[in-house]
Structure 1
């Protein structure tokens, strides 16, 4: 049996704000939200089969280092879309700055950072 990735969990400064732009850009929905088993709030945003578990707490520390220089750091989250040019326009309209566009085998990609400095990769496969 091959395992399937169900979700990733990471800390953001504002789960409501992050979930709102994810719903708008990616067409996702809130699957669950509530108190975390830790001292904070959690919200699951995604599809019926895959999601991102957003976590926040009042005393969370801001990001300090480049994730690519930190063992265990979150480098980026990737999403697959059908129309990368349309998504690029939508990312810009949402107030984020799309990075350079790259063609590679077997598709295309670009990156953007959200308000927390988390990097997202947008991919379209040919």
Structure 2
């Protein structure tokens, strides 16, 4: 049997540096690489040692307002596992973003937020909550 692991996801943002800085602050990640990309654009790779998000912007303007849930092949959300859901939610609020769709169900607790480009993030914790 072959085992596989997700290495990265690449998506388009309006400002990869600003998005990378925000994600580093929220999740304790680091910038792994940044530099020129296709179409005269720029990419920033942000994450941990074993996986990352590739944040790309082309050399020309992009439409950040399209709704990926209605587009075949669109990105619906990015799921991030954290140890302390409440601490990350406080950081999300402090960053001026609005958490929504809180849910507590097996196997974990979660909430969602949209960034400035309309990308939805799901933040989930599988840590046990004291009764």
TM-score of the pair, normalised by structure 1: 0.94
Residue 81 of structure 1 aligns with which residue? 82
The total of aligned residue pairs comes to 126
Residue 93 of structure 2 aligns with which residue? 92
Q: Structure 1: which 5+ residue stretches go unaligned?
A: none
Alpha-carbon distance change, 35 to 90 in structure 1, aligned in 2, over 3 angstroms: same
CA distance in 1, matches of 2:64, 2:45: 21
- Once the two structures are TM-superposed, the CA of residue 68 in structure 1 deviates from its matched residue by 1.1
CA distance in 2, matches of 1:66, 1:12: 14
- Contact persistence 2:82–2:123 (CA under 8 A): yes
2:40 alignment partner, SS class: coil
**What's the CA shift string for 1:74-125, capped at 9, x where partnerless?**
1000100011111111100011001131011100110000000100000001
Q: Structure 2: which 5+ residue stretches go unaligned?
A: none
Alignment RMSD (CA, Å): 1.2
CA distance in 1, matches of 2:53, 2:115: 15
Residue 108 of structure 2 aligns with which residue? 107
